[in-house]
Amino acid sequence: MKTSNIDDFLANNKITLIEFYAPWCGHCKNLAPEMKKLGDDLKGMVNIGVVDADSSENKALQTRFNIQGFPTIKIFVNGKPSDYQGGRSTQAMKDKILETLTKVASGT
């Protein structure tokens, strides 16, 4: 995903989880299979994105979304970001997304 299309992506998806990563980051490389599995598990329910926020074309995202280090994971609800502070396993992220879905559905 690129800076040029992130706004459209967020506008078209009620709930989105995005990992902002850097290709050189070891933690990001370790997280990649978990993010892939999360995307597969939640396909059709929630969109999962990954953004190379260290690339020259995406550097502005670091400021825009207050990216302090890599990986940074944010959950967007109606385009508004919040920091994901949970575990980095597929199950932990899935649990948080499902909790967010429940809250949005119930209006809380």
Q: Report the catalytic residues.
A: 25-28
Of 92, 89, 50, 90, the C-alpha closest to 70 is 50
Q: How many CB atoms lie within 10 A of CB 97?
A: 22
What's the half-sphere exposure (Cβ side, CA atoms, 13 Å) at 34? 18
The Cα–Cα gap between 96 and 94 comes to 5
What's the half-sphere exposure (Cβ side, CA atoms, 13 Å) at 49? 22
